[in-house]
Each structure stands twice: as structure tokens, then as C-alpha cells.
Structure 1
Amino acid sequence: MSKRAYNFNAGPAALPLEVLERAQAEFVNYGDTGMSIMEMSHRGAVYEAVHNEAQERLLSLLGNPSGYKVLFIQGGASTQFAMIPMNFLGQGQVANYVMTGSWAEKAIKEARLIGETHVAASSEASKYMALPELQDIKLSDHAAYLHLTSNETIEGTQFKEFPDTGSVPLICDMSSDILSRPFDLSQFAMVYAGAQKNLGPSGVAVVIVREDMITDSPKHLPSMLRYDTYLKNNSLYNTPPSFGIYMINEVLKWIQEKGGLEGVQELNRKKAALIYDAIDSSGGFYRGCVNAEVRSDMNITFRLGTEELEKEFVKASEQEGFVGLKGHRSVGGLRASVYNALPYESAQALVQFMQQFQNSRS
């Protein structure tokens, strides 16, 4: 095949080549059915087996914790921003949020439309280039839950540990770092993620939730906005994004083949360290954006001396086959997203390009 791009897109993002090739081989005729997985009934045994296998494989990668269910919901993480307060913010309760950047801000904006909210901690004073200390998170009275964003895709920060919230449910948006490292699911009442960064293609949100949280959703909500609808119908109440779920299952297989979460974490740390070292050893030509202790292993943000030089960097990188290195429009700068599927060789190629670009401007 022709040379593949060095894909540093923030999402939709790179998928493992092995997964794409498997999907290609099965695309027209899945399991000798004479049909693509996209053409068959979601009520049929063949698709349901894939659907159930994806749920089971995901929980297996997390150690098969008891009492948790996997839901597949359309609308991405953005729909979850509204569904969470709709389902969990009761009368007389307060939704608590940790404000750490662009995606945390979007989540709390939706919650404010539903009911009373409280910012339990914020890193706004640092322009979101740091994260609050866990001990500085102060829950309100009558807290319904605490919501935080594990990894801010745009700013490039990542929580390395999570708070102990006691009896208050902890809910986490893990869209940009889910399954990039081991974590203790039992700390959380719910974690969720849009699939298009580390899990598969866009179109699916994966929700992993304690079953006791969702057995009886508020009766006034429409069916498609109630978590118990998905629980009672195994996420098959309506036609699911079947191809996306099939791809998630294939990505989960790939993660298992890489040694599970420990295996992908080791590779992710090597990729991130390689690029951060190139930034830090550049003598100030490249400058990391966020505080070093909370740097993300998934989204590496950095700047050059001027915006004009950054534009030259992006243009030159695109000519060399790099994709997605321009920073988010809301913050500017540069960003390399190095999710699970990004090959180590792509990180090496980026570091080589960065050194060549610096030498050409010195």
C-alpha cells in the first residue's frame, strides 16, 4: 500500500493499521454471511455476538470489576454532558465540577441548563496550564456527583491521580485518554468517552457505569436520554452504530495483543517522552505549554517564538506527510496527539522533523 500519513490528529484520530486491515478483509463479507456488518440486522445473532463481545472485552481489560455495565450511546461525549445532570442531578442537589479547560467548561455549561452547579476546583487562574491539587477540590453540600475531565485534549493537561470522593459519585470524561493506561474503575461511579480518539471511529460514546446508578432513571426524561433505557435493552433500544461498535471490538482485541493497558501505557510513555525531550532540549526554540508535572501523554502542546513561525512549521510538516499538528483554533500553537494507535515510528519521525526545522531556522 502507499505510504500512510504521520497522523497526529486530535480526533477523529489514527486507528491501528492492523485493525484497519482486518476490517478491510471483512468489510464486504463478515463471517461468511455474504454481508457487511453494516448491512445486517442489529437484532440478529451475528451482530449481537459482536456487540456483547465488545462489552465483555472492555470490562476484561479493566479487570472484570463487578457491578459495572458497558453502554453504547450515540451523540458522543457532548450528549453525555447533558445526560449526566438530567439523570443524576436530583431535586435539592448540586452538580459539582472540576474546571480544567475547554471540555470541562462545555460539560458544566450543559449542567447549568439543568440545575444548580458548583465549581469544586478550577485551574482557570493558570489559563488551564496547570491542574488543581486533589486536596483543593471542595465539594458543596448536597453534592449529587463530582465530574472531572481526566485529560484536556485542547490544553494538553492530564490528571495522574484521581480524588477520593467518598460516598459522592465520581464521574469522569475520559474521551482522550481512556484505555491509554491502567486505572482503578472502582474509584468511579461512571466513566465515559467518545470513541474517536482511543477506541474506534466517531459515532459512539462508550459509557462504563455502576449498575446501581442507572436502574431507575427519572421518569420525565425522553426514552433516548435515560440511562435505564440502554441498560434494560443492552444498548439495542434503537439501531446502534453497528460498524463503530464492531471497530471498537477490533481495537480492544488489538490492545489485548499489545499487552493490555500496561503494554499500551509503556509504549505511550515512550512516545510522549521522546517528543517532550525534543521540546525541552531545543534551547527554547520549542516551548511546552503546560506545567511539566501535569503534561498529557496523549496531547502534547507546544509553541514557537512567533505565530508566523508556527504557521511555517505547520506548512513544512504537511509537505513532509505530517497531519494534525496545528493547535486547536481556540488556543493556537501546535499540538501532537499521540494516542494508542500512533506508531512509535511516527513519534520518531516528528522528532527528526522538529530538529531539522530548528536547524533550518538557526
Structure 2
Amino acid sequence: MEAVKRAYNFNAGPAALPLEVLQQAQEQFVDFRETGMSIMEMSHRGGVYESVHNETIDSLKRILSIPDGYQVLFLQGGASTQFAMIPMNLLGADQTACYIHTGSWADKAIKEAKLIGSTVVVASSEADKFTKTPDVSGLELPENAAYLHLTSNETIEGVQFKQFPDTGSVPLIADMSSDILSRPLEVSKFGMIYAGAQKNLGPSGVTVVIARQDLVENSPKHVPTMLRYSTHTANNSLYNTPPSFGIYMVGLVLKWIENQGGLLGVEKKNAEKSGLIYNAIDGSGGFYRGVSDLTNRSMMNITFRLQNEELEKQFVKESEQAGFVGLKGHRSVGGLRASAYNAVPYEACEALAQFMKQFQEKHG
């Protein structure tokens, strides 16, 4: 078979998927496990799909070393629906929801929580224009804190928590949509972790929730059925038709991660990949300027600027002509961004670093 020419895909999400995973899905697409059906065509109540569903849960538990007492859920609606589900299920009438404000996605979560009940921002990096994460070493939480929520990696600003706060008995909840499975993680520090799949886990349409059982098994009865965590925990995420093809794809991605050496192997590769691009920025003598503070640079989303917007537009234009996709910064902040998620190959990051040097030679 002739090799397929692949774009250098730096999209922020939906994002690159491993080529091996795409090829495996292609091979199995029409006839899955000799059933004469695609997995997209079969009943989610049937044994074949249910085995895929449970294998995917088991793979995630194995890769993340998820301890007993936690449940893995596959939901729909993206991380944005979780912004509302979390306070709807976990914020009592006499409690306060606590949030750390680190940028665009944290802001969306905070706004949703305020619609539900008492909400307070306990730490913020707004004064630093969200170029770093705030100091969370001595956080003071109210006595009636229901939980503390943070965004582990801000996709738009390109900042990432390198350490997580110790919240004691208050559940720590993390939106890890853009850096889940990019590095080892101690799940037991968290009451809940959630992530939209479309960056590091698989295709869009699946939202993964990893939650302590005691937090999600007794949802308030006034919450609509589909928005109760307990509905999904009681039914192994099969209360209604799940995004079955997406869950199957997540399962393939998880097997691919294990073949990369698990999370330690993936973290090493991610550090090398992002290092290539950050070195091109830092070694440019000011031609490129990194947006995020050195201590909080994201391994996933590398944000940078040039001297003016016209030059940035030229960079995007020439990069697209050279086969690069997705390097334009988010519309809310402008600039440039390279999203180097797990599945983005080392060769793509190497090619981008080389292109950046050539662009500087041409326009510097």
C-alpha cells in the first residue's frame, strides 16, 4: 500500500490521532470481529459491544493505576456539560463551590457554577494575564467548601499545573481535557477527573469521567435524570445509547499508549517534542516570544507571538503552504499555537522547529 501523506496536524481539538489507531479502525470498520457488522451498527446491549466497553474501562484503570473506590464513566456533551453537572450534583444548598481561575476554560466552568449556587474563586492568575498558574501552596478554603475545581492545562493560554494542591478532605476536581494521559498521575489525590476525548483520548463525542464512588452514587433527585452521575454509575454508562464508536476508538488509543511505554514513555516523548518547539522560540533572539511563564509552560499547547499581527498572519499563511495545520492562535487571544498532543509525531515537531528557523531567516 502506498504511504499516505499526512498533514503536520497541530490542531487544538479535535486533534491528531495515532496513525496506527486510524489504520486499525479502518481495517475493522466494515466487519468487526467477524460479526458482519461495523461496531457503529451493533446494539450497545449486545455482548460484542459490551466487551469493547468494559475492555476500554479496564485499560484506563490499568494505565492510570486507578485505585479501588473509583468509577470510570463515558458520558456525552463534552467537558462543557461537566461544568454544569458538577455543581448540580455536588454543590449542596449550604455549601460553596471553590474554583481556581487560570484562563478561558476555567472561566467557563466558573460561570456555569455561578448559575447553580454559591461559588467563590480562591486563587487566580488574572493579574498575570493568565500567563502562569497561581500559587496554590497555602490555599484557604471555606469551611463549607463542596469541592475545589481547577483546569490542569489551559489550551488557549498554554499554561499547565506542574503540581496540584493538597485539599485535605475537600474533593479536588480537575478538568484534564487537554493533558489527560500525557504524564503520570496520582488519581487518589482527586475526587474527580474529567476530560473531553478529542485531544488525547480519541475522537470528539466521548467525555471520560473518573470519580470517587462516594461522590457520584447518590445524586440529588431534583437533578434531571441524564444529568445525574448516579444514573450513569448505576448502569455502567449504558443507561442510554453511548457514543459506541468513540468509546471503541478510545480503547484503541489506550492500547497505543501502553505500547508507547505507558505514561512514563508518553511523558518522555512529550517533553522531547515540546522541547524542540520551545527551543526554537527561546533560541530566536526575541523573534519569537513565548506567551506563558517559563515555570508553567504547557507540554501540550505551545503558545507564542511575533512582533506584530501582520507577521503572525504571514507565518500562518506560509506554514499552511508548507503542510502545517492548526497553528493559528485561538480567536479570543490571537497569536500562534502549536498543540503537540500525545499522537502528534516527533517528526512533525521537528519539522515545525525547522520551519520556524527558516521563517525567521526569511523575515527576521
Does TM, scored on the shorter chain, surpass 0.5?
Answer: yes
* TM-score, structure 1 as length reference: 0.99
Instruction: Write out per-residue CA displacement over residues 201-223 of structure 1, whole angstroms, 9 at most, x where no aligned residue.
Output: 00010000011111110011111
CA distance in 2, matches of 1:187, 1:134: 15
1:309 corresponds to: 311
SS in 1 for 2:167: coil
CA distance in 2, matches of 1:138, 1:255: 37
Instruction: Write out per-residue CA displacement over residues 132-164 of structure 1, whole angstroms, 9 at most, x where no aligned residue.
Output: 112253312300000000000000000001000
Instruction: Write out per-residue CA displacement over residues 155-201 of structure 1, whole angstroms, 9 at most, x where no aligned residue.
Output: 00000010000000000000000000001000000000000000000
Amino acid at match of 2:95: Q
CA contact (8 A) 2:66 2:188 kept: no
**Structure 1 unmatched ranges of 5 or more:** none
Q: Of 167, 184, 190, which aligns to 1:188?
A: 190
Residue 48 (structure 1) aligned with residue 66 (structure 2) = no
Query: How far 1:310 sits from its partner (Å)?
Result: 0.1
2:150 corresponds to: 148
Q: Give the count of matched residue pairs.
A: 362
1:100 corresponds to: 102
CA distance in 2, matches of 1:55, 1:67: 14
Instruction: Write out per-residue CA displacement over residues 226-283 of structure 1, whole angstroms, 9 at most, x where no aligned residue.
Output: 0000000000000000000000000000000000000000000000111101100000
1:114 corresponds to: 116
2:139 corresponds to: 137
1:351 corresponds to: 353
Q: Which moved more, 1:265-274 or 1:137-146?
A: 137-146
Residue 300 (structure 1) aligned with residue 302 (structure 2) = yes
CA distance in 1, matches of 2:178, 2:65: 21
* TM-score, structure 2 as length reference: 0.99
1:280 corresponds to: 282
Query: Percent identity of the aligned residues?
Result: 69
CA distance in 2, matches of 1:299, 1:207: 22
Q: Of 190, 213, 216, which aligns to 2:215?
A: 213
2:273 corresponds to: 271
Query: How far 1:303 sits from its partner (Å)?
Result: 0.2
Amino acid at match of 1:323: V
CA distance in 1, matches of 2:138, 2:278: 28
**Structure 2 unmatched ranges of 5 or more:** none
CA contact (8 A) 1:98 1:137 kept: no
CA contact (8 A) 1:118 1:140 kept: no
CA contact (8 A) 1:54 1:249 kept: yes
Query: How far 1:313 sits from its partner (Å)?
Result: 0.1
SS in 2 for 1:135: coil
Amino acid at match of 1:166: G
CA distance in 1, matches of 2:269, 2:148: 31
1:327 corresponds to: 329
CA distance in 2, matches of 1:66, 1:273: 36
CA distance in 2, matches of 1:258, 1:5: 22
In angstroms, what is the RMSD of aligned CA positions? Answer: 0.7
Amino acid at match of 1:113: L
Amino acid at match of 1:322: F
Q: Which moved more, 1:135-144 or 1:210-219?
A: 135-144
CA distance in 1, matches of 2:17, 2:170: 36
SS in 2 for 1:71: strand
CA distance in 1, matches of 2:318, 2:140: 46
Query: How far 1:2 sits from its partner (Å)?
Result: 3.1
Where has structure 1 moved over 4 Å in runs of 4 or more?
Answer: none
Instruction: Write out per-residue CA displacement over residues 315-336 of structure 1, whole angstroms, 9 at most, x where no aligned residue.
Output: 0000000000000000000000
CA contact (8 A) 2:302 2:339 kept: yes
Amino acid at match of 2:136: L
CA contact (8 A) 2:319 2:325 kept: yes
CA contact (8 A) 1:120 1:140 kept: no
1:262 corresponds to: 264
2:202 corresponds to: 200
CA distance in 2, matches of 1:277, 1:359: 16
1:162 corresponds to: 164
SS in 2 for 1:54: helix
SS in 2 for 1:69: strand
CA distance in 2, matches of 1:214, 1:192: 13
Instruction: Write out per-residue CA displacement over residues 45-86 of structure 1, whole angstroms, 9 at most, x where no aligned residue.
Output: 000000001011101001141111100000000000000000
2:20 corresponds to: 18
1:173 corresponds to: 175
Amino acid at match of 1:234: N
